[in-house]
Structure 1
Amino acid sequence: MVADRAPRGGADKRWLALLVALLFASLAAAQDAASLQARHAALREQLDSNPYRRPLHIASQVGDGTLQGDVHARFGQPFAVLGAALQDVGHWCDILILHPNVKGCRVRPGDRLELNLGRKFEQPLDDTQPFAFRFRVLSARPDYLALALDADSGPLGTSEHRMRVELAALDAQRSFLHLSYAHAYGLRARLAMQGYLMTLGRDKLGFSVVGRDEHGQPIHVDGLRGVVERNVMRYYLAIEAYLDALAAPPAVQAERRLQLWHAGVSRYPRQLQEPALDDYLQMKRREIQRQQVPAR
C-alpha cells in the first residue's frame, strides 16, 4: 500500500506543477494583450491625428550595429478574422510576395519560409539571393496573437533578422497591430549601406518628423533610420493589403492585394519610390504564377 501511494503523490505534484505553469502562461498572455491595448491608449493622440491621415504610427531606432523599425496601426476589423488569417504560415507567402524586393516565396516543412530577394524589376530566380524565415506562433489567445519570423543571416552581411507581429482585440469590431522588424549588420553591410546612402539613397527620406525648417515644414528622418522605416512600412502595407483583401471573393483576392499594396505605397511618394502600377502588377503577377509551380 505504501508503495502504491508514492507514485500517486509524485503524479499529484506533477499535475500541480503543470497547472501552475498553465496559470502563469495564461497570465502572461493576458498581460501581453493588456500591454498592447495600453500601447494603443498611449498612442491614441498620434493615431487619431497624424500626417498619414489614418490610425497609424511609425518609429525607428539605430543601435550599435542594429536597425529597428516599428509600426502600430488600428484596424476596423474583428480580431477573430485577422488573427485566424495571420497565424496560418501558409498565408505568409501571399503577404511577403507583395514586397517589390521579394521575388519568390515557398513554405517548407517545419514552418520555414524560403524567399528569394532581388531588385525591383523582373529577375530569374538564379539571379536572386536566397533568404529563409523560421515562422513561429508565440501566443494565440482569444484576444491576442504573437508571431515571430526569424533569420540568422541575410543578404550583404546582415544578420539576426527579427520580425515580430502582435495583434490584440480592442473591441468586437476593432483590432490593434504592432509590427517590428530589426536586423544587425557588420562591416560588409555597413559599407554597402554607406555606398547606397551616398548614391541611390542620398535624397530618400523616412517617415518620422525630427524637426521643422525655417518655413515650418516638417523635416523627416533620413540615413539609416530612413532605410529601416521605409522597409518596415513596405512590410506593414503588405500585411494591411492582405488583411483588407480578405473581404473580396477568394478568386480575386490575389489581384486585390496587389492593387491595395500599390495604392498604399502611392500615399507616400516622398518616401516610397516604387515601380509604376502597370510595371508592378505585371512583375508580381508573373512572380506569383512562378511560385505556384510545384518545386522540383
Structure 2
Amino acid sequence: MNMKIYCTLAFAALVIVSTPGLARAASLPAANTSTDPDAYKLLAVHAAYMPRLAHNQFGRPLVLQSLETSRRVSGDIYAEIDTPFETVRKSFANPRNWCEVLILHINTKYCHAGIGADSNRLSVRVGKKGAQDINQAFALEFAFRLKANRADYMAALLTAPAGPLGTADYQFELQVIPLTSAKSFLRLHYSYAFGGVARLATQGYLATAGRDKVGFTRDPIGAGKYAYVTGMRSVVERNTMRYYLAVESYLASLLLPPGRQFNDRIERWFDATEQYRLQLHEMDRTEYLSMKKSEYARQQVAIGR
C-alpha cells in the first residue's frame, strides 16, 4: 500500500479511537477506496491499535474489547497472527473447518457441518465444562455465510437464531487482511442477545460456582485503583478469548501432518488458556485432553469420516 495512504488512514483511525463522540466514524469507509474499502478499514484499525498491540497485559499482539447493553453482550478481539493471509482465508472460507475450531472450546461437545445443500449449516452442541452425554447438551444451529473472499480481505459469519436459556441471535464473525507475506491481522467478533431468564441464570452462576470469575478488562473504581470486570461482560470476554485461542491453535496446527494436528490443537489450546489462569482455568490438563479426544472421536463417527 502507498505509504501516504497508510499514514492518512492511521491518523484518521487514531483520531476516531481517541476522540469521544467519534467512535461511530470508525464504521465509515476509509478515505481511499480504490482497491478494497473493507481491507482499508481493517488496516486503519490496525494502525490505530499498534501501540496496544505492542504493549498489553496479554503477552501477545492482541486487543480485547467488550460491550454490554440491556439485551446484548459482545466481545471483539483484534490480533496480529504469524500466519499467511492465504492460509487463514482458505481455512475459514470452509465451514467444516469452523468445527475444528469450535470443538476446542471447553463447553463445545459436538460440531457437524452439513453436506450438499446443507453444507453451510453447522449443528453444534454446547454444555457443561466436563464430560457430558451429547443428548444432554444444548443444540445450536449455525448458518455459515462467506461475506467476502478477495485477494486482500476475507470475512466469514456464523449466526444462530436461538441458544440455551433464552439466549438468541448468536454471531461469530472473522475478518482478516494480510500485513506481510507471513503475517495477518484479524478481528474476531462474538456476541449474543439475552432475556430475563438468561440474565438470572448467569447471575445465579456468578453468585455461586462462578463467584470468583472475572474478565480481562480493568475498569477504574476510584482513587487510582482498578478492578477486573465482572458479570455478563466477564462471561463474554472469557469466551471470546477462548474462541480466539482456538483459532490461533487451529492455524498453528496446520504446519503438522494431518494425523498429528488434532492432538497438537488441544494441547496448544489448553496451554494457551493456562497463561490466563485467573480468567480461564477450569480443569487440569489431563482431564481436558481426555475429554476432547473423546468428544472429537464421537464427532468423527457422526461425520462419517
Give the TM-score taking structure 2 as reference length: 0.84
Residue 294 (structure 2) aligns with: 286
Counterparts of 1:125 and 1:264 in 2: how far apart (Å)?
A: 26
- Asked if the contact 2:159–2:171 (Cα under 8 Å) also holds between the matched residues in 1, the reply is yes
Distance verdict in 2 for CA 1:266–1:77, change over 3 Å: same
Q: Following the alignment from structure 1 to structure 2, what is the Cα–Cα distance between the partners of residues 77 and 128? A: 34
One-letter amino acid matched to 2:96 = G
Residue aligning to 1:181? 190
Match of 2:256 in 1: 248
Looking at structure 1, the residues matched to 210 and 185 of structure 2 have their Cα atoms a distance apart, in angstroms, of 32
Number of matched pairs: 269
Pair 1:125 & 2:131 matched: no
Whole-Å separation in 2 of the counterparts to 1:37 and 1:177: 10
Between the aligned partners of 1:117 and 1:272, the Cα distance in structure 2 is: 17
C-alpha distance after superposition, 1:187-212 (max 9, x if no partner) = 11111112112112222110112137
User: Does structure 2 conserve the Cα–Cα contact (< 8 Å) formed by 1:29 and 1:141?
Assistant: no
| Overall identity of the aligned pairs, in % | 39
- The farther-off stretch of 100-109 and 197-206 is 197-206
Gaps of 5+ in 1: 1-26
- AA aligned opposite 2:164: P
Q: Hey, what does 2:124 align to over in structure 1? A: 115
How far, CA to CA, are the matches of 1:266 and 1:275 in structure 2?
10
Q: Does 1:160 align with 2:166?
A: no
Closer, same or farther: CA 29–151 of 1 in aligned 2, 3 Å: farther
Q: Which of these residues, 82, 87, 92, is aligned with residue 86 of structure 1?
A: 92
1:238-266: CA deviation from partner (whole Å, max 9, x where unpaired)? 11110111111211000000011001100
**Any idea what SS the aligned residue of 1:93 has?**
helix
Q: Which amino acid aligns with 1:275?
A: M
Query: Who is 1:203 aligned against?
Result: 212
Kept in 2: contact 1:29–1:144 (CA 8 A): no
- Check conservation: 1:62, 1:68, Cα contact below 8 A: yes
Query: Letter of the aligned partner of 1:226 in structure 2?
Result: S
Question: How far does residue 213 in structure 1 lie from its aligned partner after superposition?
Answer: 7.7
Q: 2:55 aligns with which of 49, 53, 69?
A: 49
Aligned to 2:238: 230
- Structure 1's 294 and 194: CA in aligned 2 closer, same or farther, altered over 3 A? closer
Contact 1:116 1:131 in 2 (8 A): yes
Conserved in 2, the CA contact under 8 Å of 1:29 and 1:139? no
Q: Which residue of 2 aligns with 1:102?
A: 108
Unaligned runs of 5+ in 2: 1-32
Pair 1:29–1:276, CA change in 2 (3 A): farther
Cα displacement string for residues 159-180 of structure 1 (whole angstroms, at most 9, x for unaligned residues): 0111111011112221001001
Partners of 1:148 and 1:295 lie apart in 2 by 22
The answer (yes or no) to whether the contact 2:95–2:119 under 8 Å persists in 1 is no
- Residue 32 (structure 1) shift: 0.6
- Which structure is richer in relative contact order (CA contacts within 8 A, separation 6 or more)? 1
CA contact (8 A) 1:212 1:219 kept: yes
The equivalent of 2:82 in structure 1 is 76
CA distance in 2, matches of 1:107, 1:28: 37
Counterparts of residues 6-21 of structure 1 (less than 5 Å): none
- Give the Å deviation of 1:129: 1.1
- 2:14 is matched with none
Matches within 5 A, 1:59-74: 59-74=65-80
Larger Cα-atom Rg: 1
In the TM superposition, residue 217 of structure 1 has moved relative to its aligned partner by 6.9
In the alignment, what sits opposite 1:20? none
Instruction: Assess, with a 3 A threshold, how the Cα gap between structure 1 residues 63 and 212 changes in structure 2: closer, same or farther.
Output: closer
Amino acid at match of 1:123: Q
Once residues 296 and 191 of structure 2 are traced to their aligned partners in structure 1, the CA distance between those partners, rounded to angstroms, is 26
Q: RMSD over aligned Cα, in angstroms?
A: 1.7
Q: Specify whether residues 250 and 217 from structure 1 end up closer, same or farther in structure 2 by C-alpha distance, changes over 3 A only.
A: farther
Match of 1:15 in 2: none
Q: Would the alpha carbon gap of residues 141 and 203 (structure 1) be closer, same or farther in structure 2, given more than 3 Å must change?
A: same
Map of 2:273 onto structure 1: 265
Runs of 4+ in 1 over 3 A off after TM superposition: none
